[in-house]
Chain A
Amino acid sequence: MEMSFSPKSKSCPGVITQVTLGFGGAAVTLGGQRAPAFYTFDDPDLPMPRLALEVTQQPADGQLPRLAAFYAGCEDLKQRLLRAQELPQAQMICLTVTACDPNGENVPAQVCARQVLQAVETLQKPLIIKGCGNPQADAALFCALAPALKGKNVLFYGVKADNYRQIVPAALENGHCLCAETADDVNLAMQLNVLLREAGFPAEKTVMDIGTSAVGYGYDYVASTMDRIRLAALEQGEDLLQSPMICCVGGDVWGIKEATATQEEEPLWGSREERICQLELVSAVSDLTCGADCVILRHPDALQEADGFVKSLYQGR
Chain B
Amino acid sequence: MALKGIDIFKLSPKTNCGDCGFSTCMAFCMKAAQGAVMPEQCPHFSASGLEKLQAMSRPAMAKFTVAGLPMGGETVLYRHEKTLVSPNGFGITLDDTMTDAALGQALQQLQAVDYSRIGQRMYVEFVQLRCLSADPLRYAALARAVKGLCRCPVLSCRQEACAQAALQVLGSECILNGATPENYRHMAELALRYGAALGAWAPSLSQLHTLSQQLEALGVKRILLDITGENEAQTLENAVQVRRGALKDGIRAFGYPSLVDIAALAPADPSRQSALAALFVQRYGSVLLLEKLSYAQALPLFGLRQNIYTDPQKPMKVEAKAYPLCGGGADSPWVLTVDFALTYFLVSAELERAGEPVNLLVADASGMSVLTAWAAGKLTAASIAQTVQIYGPEKGILILPGKVGVLQQQVQRLLPGWQVVTGPDEAAQLPRYMKSRQYLTDAAQLAAEQKEAAVEDSRSLSFDRLLHSHVPAIEKISTDVHYPPRNPNSKRFVVIGERIHCIAPAIREAMDRRNPAPILQRAEQQIAAGATYLDVNIGPAEEDGAQRMMWAVKLLQENFGNVPLALDTVNRRAIEAGLYVYNRANGKPILNSADNGARRSIIDLAAANDAIVIALCAGEGLVRDNEERLYHCHQMLERGLSLGMAAEDLWFDPSFLVIKGMQEQQVQILEAIRLMSAEGLKTTGGVSNCSNGVPRPLRPILDSAMLAMCMSQGMTSAILNPNDSRMMQTVKACDIIHNRVLYNDELLKD
Contacts and interface: CB of A to CB of B under 8 A. Distances in A.
Most buried by B among A5, A309, A313: A5
Q: How large is the interface on A (under 10, 10 to 19, 20 to 34, 35 or more residues)?
A: 35 or more
A84 interface: no
B299 A279 contact: yes
B206 A231 contact: no
A216 interface: yes
Given A5-B253, A187-B660, A281 B231 contact: no
Nearest to B217: A1
Most buried by B among A4, A216, A306, A309: A216
Interface string A202-216: 000000000000111
A170 to B, nearest CB: 27
A39 B249 CA distance: 18
A224 interface: yes
A33 interface: no
B205 A281 contact: no
B310 interface: yes
B307 A313 contact: no
17 contacts: A1-B217, A2-B209, A5-B205, A7-B206, A186-B660, A216-B299, A216-B304, A277-B271, A282-B277, A282-B301, A286-B278, A289-B282, A289-B283, A305-B275, A306-B275, A312-B266, A313-B233
B236 interface: yes
- How would you classify the secondary structure of chain B's contact residues: helix, strand, loop or mixed? helix
Nearest to A191: B695
A215 B308 CA distance: 9
Contacts of B244: 8, 10
Interface in B205-221: 205-206, 209-210, 213, 217
A223 B80 CA distance: 9
Given A269-B295, A316-B233, 4 more contacts: A5-B245, A7-B241, A39-B240, A231-B78
Nearest to A38: B236
A10 B80 CA distance: 21
Contact of B271 (A39, A268, A305): A305
A40 B232 CA distance: 12
Contacts of B117: 216
Contacts of B681: none
Interface in B691-710: 693
Contact of B342 (A1, A218, A227, A286): A218
Q: How large is the interface on B (under 10, 10 to 19, 20 to 34, 35 or more residues)?
A: 35 or more
B459 interface: no
A141 to B, nearest CB: 22
Nearest to B280: A289
A41 B240 contact: yes
Contact of B80 (A4, A187, A228, A315): A228
A283 interface: yes
Contacts of B206: 4-7
B251 interface: yes
Contacts of A227: 78-80
Contact of B282 (A8, A279, A290): A290
Interface of B: 78-80, 112, 117, 205-206, 209-210, 213, 217, 231-233, 236-237, 240-241, 244-245, 249, 251-254, 266, 271-272, 274-279, 281-283, 294-297, 299-304, 306-308, 310, 312, 316, 341-342, 345, 349, 660-661, 693
A187 B689 CA distance: 16
A158 B306 CA distance: 30
B271 A41 contact: no
Contacts of A258: 299-300, 303
A154 B745 CA distance: 61
A263 to B, nearest CB: 11
A147 interface: no
Interface string A71-110: 0000000000000000000000000000000000000000
A146 to B, nearest CB: 30
Contacts of A314: 233
Interface string A273-313: 01101110111011001100000000000000110110011
A271 B361 CA distance: 31
A274 B296 contact: yes
Most buried by A among B117, B210, B661: B661
B300 A215 contact: yes
A2 B271 contact: no
Contacts of B112: 268
B236 A224 contact: no
B263 to A, nearest CB: 15
Q: When A and B form their complex, which 10 residue pairs have the shortest distance between CB atoms, in order from nearest?
A: A216-B303, A5-B209, A282-B300, A215-B304, A224-B80, A309-B275, A219-B307, A285-B278, A220-B307, A312-B232
Nearest to A228: B80
Given A5-B245, A223-B308, A313-B233, A270 B295 contact: yes
B275 A220 contact: no
Contact of B78 (A218, A224, A271): A224
Contacts, number: 173
A214 B307 CA distance: 11
A268 B295 contact: yes
Contacts of A39: 236-237, 240
Contacts of B79: 220, 223-224, 227
A2 B283 CA distance: 25
Contacts of B283: 289
B272 A305 contact: yes
A15 B79 CA distance: 23
A313 B299 contact: no
A286 B304 contact: yes
Most buried by B among A39, A270, A283, A313: A313
B83 to A, nearest CB: 10
Contact of A223 (B251, B303, B307): B307
A7 B253 CA distance: 14
Contact of A224 (B217, B277, B312): B312
B297 A278 contact: yes
Contacts of B282: 223, 286, 289-290
Contacts of A279: 299-300
Nearest to A308: B272
A275 B299 contact: yes
Nearest to B345: A217
Nearest to B695: A191
Contacts of A255: 349
Given A278-B274, A315-B233, A219 B245 contact: no
Contacts of B245: 5, 8
A42 to B, nearest CB: 8
A312 B233 contact: yes
Nearest to B659: A187
Contacts of B307: 215-216, 218-220, 222-223
Contacts of B240: 39, 41
A290 B303 CA distance: 16
A217 B342 CA distance: 8
A185 interface: yes
B233 A278 contact: no
A277 B316 CA distance: 26
A281 B205 CA distance: 30
Most buried by B among A186, A282, A309: A282
Contacts of A185: 660-661
A2 B299 contact: no
B252 A2 contact: yes
A309 B276 contact: yes
Contacts of A289: 278-279, 282-283
Contacts of B78: 224, 227-228, 231
Contacts of B253: 2, 5
A1 B275 contact: no
B303 A215 contact: yes
Most buried by A among B213, B245, B302, B307: B307
Contacts of A271: 296
Nearest to B209: A5
Contacts of B345: 217-218
A85 to B, nearest CB: 23
Contact of B274 (A8, A187, A282): A282
